[in-house]
Amino acid sequence: MNIYHNNILRNLVIRNLKLKYKNSFLGYLWSLITPLVFLIIFNFVFGLAFDFIENYSLYVLTGLVFWLFFTNSTNEIIGSLFRNSSIIKSISIPLEIYPLSSLITEFANLILTFVAFIVLMLFFGFQFSWETILIIPVILIFSLFILGFSTMLSVLNIYFRDVSILWNTINPALFYLTPIAYTLEIVPEKFHWILKLNPLYFFFEGGRDILYSNSVPSLNCWIYMIILASTSMLLGYLTLKKLRRGLISNM
Amino acid sequence: MEPIIEIKDINLSYTLVNPKIQSVKDFITSMSFKKLFTKKDVIKNLSLNIYKSEVLGIVGKNGTGKSTLLKAIAGILEPMSGKIIVRGKIAPLLSLGSGIELELTGYENIKLLGSLMGYSRKQMMSMNEKVIAFSELSDEQLQAPVKTYSSGMMARLSFSIAITETPEILIIDEVLAVGDQGFQRKCMNRINEIHKKGGTILFVSHSLADVQRICTRGICINNNVIEKEGNLHEVGKYYNSLFEN
């Protein structure tokens, strides 16, 4: 990466952000409305059933913000090479730039969402403490985790378009496998290991510890997050390196 | 003199997902991962030296590997074997409108394309006015989204950005054809100017007249190899002979 690449990256992110809301009337507000609608539905549907969960609204909200960042950024990154194929075919730019620009776009979106949602979270009883600052490293590690495996899928998606279709079917399944609307406690103990096989589990646990319980995530949780993120990045790097050569002819 | 572009015995082939396999069923019945991909040779054992301030015209039938060669020189495709050494910065114009975002305005696209072509923020700011002047697009047009443009107007946009600054190596792959006569002439003059300032130009075109007018040397690619090289008149004659049978 050199100064030209930084400039390209910046311009691609600006382009992505502009395109995201270009033709919609409400524009950026959609990134607030979508989680709000989810929140209302969840409160209605699950709020009564799970009335034993303390401060359910705050619980769901913290999970939702994380989840929406996850689905939006994976979707964006998986499609990134395909969407930029006309540029890839005519200008020589390191391919890593495209997934990275998608991630940064969604990251910027997350920050904008967060600013507005902090207000809502305060309303639901969230309190700032020194632990709150830890959400920054958690989100950064989570981002690397997303970037790695999504880059791998974006490469495979060039060879077989089935990949993005497949992802769209796996995605909702992951949503229900992750404790977003429910807590781990309501699941019988003997099934806990299944939920923990889901790599997303640890990132959500980490995020929840900080934003919902105002506590520091356990050492165990940090280690899992870091291992998952590095494995994912390695996968992304290796796929891109191995399959780079054939990409252009299949675009 | 050291060549500005040195191509040493390159081989290039495409790896494609086998077109015979179109569904999961085909894949399962073929039962083999090897058959999943097919290889198609595009360039075979090609060597070529290009020197500074040359204008090299490249002609050849469709699908013989002209564009592939340019892509390899531009660093987009990697040869399977052999080596390409490029001693300078390349401004590629390989396909019309690549990188142009239809939903964004002309002004926004100038910024985006400029960065994609490798100009820094500072360079872009200083060349912005020249780009706009060269493109002859009005302020009103540049404020409109590019989806409202004709293909000629789009060509003006990408061409202006690529050639406003004097590039060390300019690669043009048949993108001039869509502009109107006035703009085509303007581009030809600009290419001449770049040539005189010491720029090196690779020019692919099907218009033999254009090639003979601006180029200093020619090659004709056929059957994945350079079949004729040298004097423009002879290369032109050879190219024409390919269509007589």
Q: Pick from A3, A93, A159: which is nearest to B120 by CB?
A: A3
Distance CA B114, CA B135 (A): 14
Question: Mean of the per-residue pLDDT values for chain B?
Answer: 86
Closest chain B residue by Cα to residue A251 = B16
Would strands B55-60 and B217-222 be described as parallel, antiparallel, or unpaired? parallel
Query: Which range (A83-92, A104-113, A117-126, A137-146) has the least confidence?
Result: A117-126
Name chain B contacts of A86, Cβ cutoff 8 Å. 95, 97-99
CB spacing of B78 vs A245 below 8 angstroms: yes
Q: Pick from A86, A160, A249: which is nearest to B15 by CB?
A: A249
Closest chain A residue by Cα to residue B14 = A249
pLDDT the model gives residue B219 = 92
Chain A interface mutation, best of B11, B33, B115, highest count of A Cβ atoms under 10 Å: B115
CB spacing of A160 vs B17 below 8 angstroms: yes
Backbone dihedral angles phi then psi of residue A35, each to the nearest 5 degrees: -65, -30
pLDDT the model gives residue A187 = 86
What value does the CA radius of gyration of chain B take, rounded to a whole number of Å? 20
Residue range A219-237, pLDDT digits in tens:
999 999 999 999 999 999 9
Tokens for A83, please give them. 């969407």
Chain B contacts in chain A segment 69-108 (CB below 8 A): 86-93
SS3 string, chain B, reads CCCCEEEEEEEEEEEEECCCCCCHHHHHHHCCCHHHEEEEEEEEEEEEEECCCCEEEEEECCCCCHHHHHHHHCCCCCCCEEEEEECCCEEEECCCCCCCCCCCEHHHHHHHHHHHCCCCHHHHHHHHHHHHHHHCCCHHHHHCEHHHCCHHHHHHHHHHHHHCCCCCEEEEECCHHHCCHHHHHHHHHHHHHHHHCCCEEEEECCCHHHHHHHCCEEEEEECCEEEEEECHHHHHHHHHHCCCC
Distance CA B177, CA A70 (A): 45
- What pTM does this model have? 0.89
**Cβ-proximal residues to B210 (8 Å cutoff; 6+ apart), any chain:** B176, B188, B203
Q: Pick from B98, B103, B116: which is nearest to A19 by CB?
A: B103
Residue closest to B6 by CA, chosen among B91, B84, B66: B84
Closest chain B residue by Cα to residue A19 = B103
Distance CA A59, CA B161 (A): 51
- Asked whether A198 and A179 are in contact (CB, 8 A), the reply is no
Q: Pick from B76, B101, B108: which is nearest to A248 by CB?
A: B76
Can you tell me the ipTM of this complex?
0.84
Residue range B209-222, pLDDT digits in tens:
888 888 999 999 98
The listed range with the strongest mean pLDDT (A145-159, A179-193, B65-79) is: A145-159
User: What long-range pairs does A199-202 form, CB within 8 A, spacing at least 24?
Assistant: A199/A145, A199/A228, A200/A70, A200/A174, A202/A228
pLDDT the model gives residue A1 = 58
Residue closest to B169 by CA, chosen among B82, B91, B100: B91
**From chain B, which residues contact A within 8 Å (Cβ)?**
14-17, 37, 40, 71, 74-78, 90, 92, 94-95, 97-99, 101, 103-104, 108, 111-112, 115-121
The DSSP secondary-structure symbol of A189 reads G
CB spacing of B120 vs A4 below 8 angstroms: yes
Residue A5 has pLDDT above 80, yes or no: yes
Residue in the structure block whose two tokens are 């600009």: B190
Residue range A29-86, pLDDT digits in tens:
887 888 888 888 888 888 777 878 888 888 888 888 899 999 999 999 999 999 999 8
pLDDT interval class at B182 (50, 70, 90): confident
CB spacing of A159 vs B74 below 8 angstroms: no
Q: Pick from A91, A245, A250: which is nearest to B99 by CB?
A: A91
- Asked whether B184 and B155 are in contact (CB, 8 A), the reply is no
Question: Mean of the per-residue pLDDT values for chain A?
Answer: 89
User: What long-range pairs does B189-194 form, CB within 8 A, spacing at least 24?
Assistant: B190/B134, B190/B163, B191/B55, B191/B163, B193/B166, B194/B163, B194/B166, B194/B167, B194/B170
